[in-house]
Amino acid sequence: MLSGILFYLTIVIVRNSMEIIRTQRMTEMEIKTITLPTRQIEVEVYTPAQTTEKAPAILLLHELFGILDVYREDAQDLADRGYLVYVPNLFSGGAVKYCIRAMVSKAGRINAADSEVNQEIHVLLDGLKADPRCNGRLGMLGQCLTGGYVIQMAKRDDMLAPVVYHHSLGIQGAGVPNKESLDEVRILQGHWSTVDPFCPATKRNKLIQQLGERVEAYTYNMPHGFRSVSRGMPEARVVWQRTLDFFDRELKQNTI
C-alpha cells in the first residue's frame, strides 16, 4: 500500500510540474472560493453559454494528478452541453498534505461515510446545489482517488447521476467500510479496468454484486486513468460517451 502511494505521489509531482509549464487555459472560467469545515479551497466554475435558465449541475473531481488541462476540457465539454460544472482543487494547500489526510487516517483509507474528506464533498455538493444557476439536479464524476467519494455521495437523496471511474480509495470490501450499507444508493454508473492494481476485480465485483440492478457497470481492457493517461485510447471515448448519455438521461430526461 505504501509503495503504491509513493509511486502515485511521484507521478503527481511530475505531472503537476508539467502543468505549471503549460499555463495557458483553454477557456475563461470563474474561480470561486468555498469554505470547508477545516479549510478553504478554490473551485473552477464552468457555465453554459448564453442562457438565463437554471441548469443541472455536475461536480467533476480530479484524481491524484490534480486538476489537469484534460479535466478542464471535460468540464468545458459538459458546460457546452448545458451543465453547470464545479471542478474543485482538492489539493489547495498541497497534494501531499491532502493525500496524507485521505490515505493515512483509517477513516480516509476505508472511505468511511463520516471521514473528513467525504464531509468536504458533501459541502461542495451543497454549495453547487445552492448556486443560483443550478436547477437542483445534481450529478458527479469521481475517479481513482476520488472515485470512492462518489459511492458515498450516491447515498444522498439529491444525487441523481453519480459516475465512478476505477475507485482506488476504500481498502475494504466494495470500496466502503464493511460495516456500512449501500442500501441508500439508488443508482450508480461505474467504469473499471479489467487489469488494475489500484482497483482490483475483487473490489469492483463486490460493489457490482451488492448494488445489483442499481449499478450500470462497464469494464474495459485498458489501463487505469480513463480521462488522463488512457484518454487517447478508443475505449476511453466509449467511456466518455456513456458518461454523457447517463448524465443526459438522469439529469435532463428523467425529470418526473
> Distance between CA 239 and CA 247 in Å, rounded?
12
Q: DSSP letter at 252?
A: I
Q: DSSP letter at 256?
A: -
Q: 164 and 144 in contact (C-beta within 8 Å)?
A: no
pTM of the model: 0.88
Dihedral, CA of residue 106, residue 112, residue 116 and residue 119, to nearest 10: 180
3-state DSSP helix/strand/coil % of the chain, to nearest 5: 40, 20, 40
Q: What is the pLDDT of residue 49?
A: 85
- pLDDT tens digit string along 181-218? 999 999 999 999 888 888 888 889 999 999 999 999 99
| Residue 162 dihedral angles phi and psi, to the nearest 5° | -85, 130
At residue 84 the predicted structure's pLDDT band, cuts being 50, 70 and 90, is very high
* In the chain, % of residues over pLDDT 70: 89
Q: 95 and 12 in contact (C-beta within 8 Å)?
A: yes
* Nearest residue to 166 (alpha-carbon basis) of 227, 244, 79, 251: 227
Q: DSSP letter at 166?
A: S
Q: What is the pLDDT of residue 24?
A: 37
At residue 28 the predicted structure's pLDDT band, cuts being 50, 70 and 90, is low
At residue 256 the predicted structure's pLDDT band, cuts being 50, 70 and 90, is low
* Nearest residue to 55 (alpha-carbon basis) of 151, 126, 132: 132
| CATH class of the domain defined by 29-252 | alpha beta
Helix (H, G, I), strand (E, B) or coil at 20: helix
Greater pLDDT, 159 or 104: 159
| Residue 24 dihedral angles phi and psi, to the nearest 5° | -70, 130
